[in-house]
Chain A
């Protein structure tokens, strides 16, 4: 991929690919609300809405920033292999509607909206580690800063022409490093700064709605076909379809891997295990699915399911409160998928690069390591610094009493569920939500 100025003349617009990519973009958009339900079901009743909102707000913030300067930073002309810039793309002001993405058969507008959905999803992934305890304004600011100094540059490294990982030949089909390791490492960096939830390891913190978790996991799986298969930006050579198949295959295998581990280790097949296994498989196949065969995808899925099921227990051993296992599933799954490319790349998919098991030696493995640990280290450190700065200025955490009584009422002036016939004693007042949250007297204004 080269800058759009040197627009290649050899490709023509494909209506089929354009239609396919617009549908894929909508599928990836669905993953953010799906993630909101996946996470929302896992928290306690008192912070359900906050968990949903932490994902949903990204649809607002990142969409606007992407249009203003994000696309330009991620995919503009490279400088120093670190970040891109293209002033024609600021505000998407100077992009022709029929201008094609260089070397591909789809318009720039289609490519940029597809990539926009990735940028929206990635910070939302982080939120799962921060459940129950982060001020909503601090989170919103964190998203804006984080995409600017972490996501946009990292997307450039991995997918932008001239980015160092791209030029090195790191294989990341759909975002194992740029999305999942990036989000997982950021989550780890932030929680090391802000600390644990009150009562971590002591109080029961059971998921309040496993049906919501299953719904979210199912919708993530569905949306992920757009995320993965769409990342080839068309299907003229069949690689997009290979990715589609491998996405299904690895995810199915990961469900079995997680459930088998759980049954042996804890004695039951849990729904949370099935949902988590599915997500771990989706994460692991994301970087690898274009390079491996379907049998390779089964291996990647099984390994991811078992290893992630083991990894989610580490937080109790080491005492970091990765509330909904963003590190254990996304960082670990992303690392596994990215590194396993070095073993399972068949040479018959997206490129002729072969991994160790196909006679290709360890060359690709070392490249994968560079991509994985470069992104991991950068994201971990910069995210921790951002969280530290926000904590020292506006404060990252809600006050203790708010965290204990529930963040939904304090930050959003709502409660998730009202099942009581008595309506929880609520009465209509004309007070503004801010006033009633602060506990002041109802205002005397009359409804117009």
Chain B
């Protein structure tokens, strides 16, 4: 199994969710995140005091996938997340030893 993590622009969430549903993914976890890459931040002004705000709001989407589906699933996420502008984010995958469905106790790919 693989854990696929995507840190992307918040407004792409709906497209990614729909694309993943169409692909057959039944569940995912979303958290609000903040960070920066090459995009860096922006400047804000309060009563003349300028602040450089480095951390930009992002969302982090986490999905578990079977090994065979992982590469294709990454492509689905990347396609749905892309706007072509700087700050689109990153997607990566790491191997997962095991997963358990809490309600039934099923293990491994059955738990997905």
Contacts and interface: CB of A to CB of B under 8 A. Distances in A.
A370 to B, nearest CB: 31
Contact of B48 (A204, A206, A266): A266
Nearest to B47: A312
B47 A325 contact: yes
Interface in A261-314: 262, 265-268, 270, 272-273, 276, 309, 312-313
A207 interface: yes
Contacts of A312: 47-48
A438 B55 CA distance: 34
Interface string B51-82: 10100000000000000000000000000000
B50 interface: yes
B48 A265 contact: yes
Nearest to A329: B47
A270 B46 contact: yes
Size class of the contact patch on chain B = under 10
B55 to A, nearest CB: 10
A316 interface: yes
Contacts of A313: 47-49
Contacts of B50: 266
B106 to A, nearest CB: 26
A268 B46 contact: no
Contacts of A262: 45, 48
Contact of A270 (B45, B51, B53): B45
A395 B86 CA distance: 51
Contacts of A272: 46-47
A265 B48 CA distance: 8
A278 to B, nearest CB: 13
A272 to B, nearest CB: 5
B44 interface: yes
B46 A206 contact: yes
B49 A316 contact: yes
Contact of A267 (B45, B47, B53): B45
Nearest to B44: A206
Interface string A305-342: 00001001100100000000100000000000000000
8 interchain residue pairs of minimum CB distance: A266-B45, A312-B47, A313-B48, A204-B51, A272-B46, A272-B47, A268-B45, A206-B46
22 contacts: A204-B51, A204-B53, A206-B46, A206-B51, A262-B48, A265-B48, A266-B48, A266-B50, A267-B45, A268-B45, A270-B45, A270-B47, A272-B46, A272-B47, A273-B47, A309-B47, A309-B48, A312-B48, A313-B47, A313-B49, A316-B49, A325-B47
Given A206-B44, A267-B45, A272-B46, 11 more contacts: A204-B53, A266-B45, A266-B48, A270-B47, A273-B47, A309-B47, A312-B47, A313-B47, A313-B48, A313-B49, A316-B49
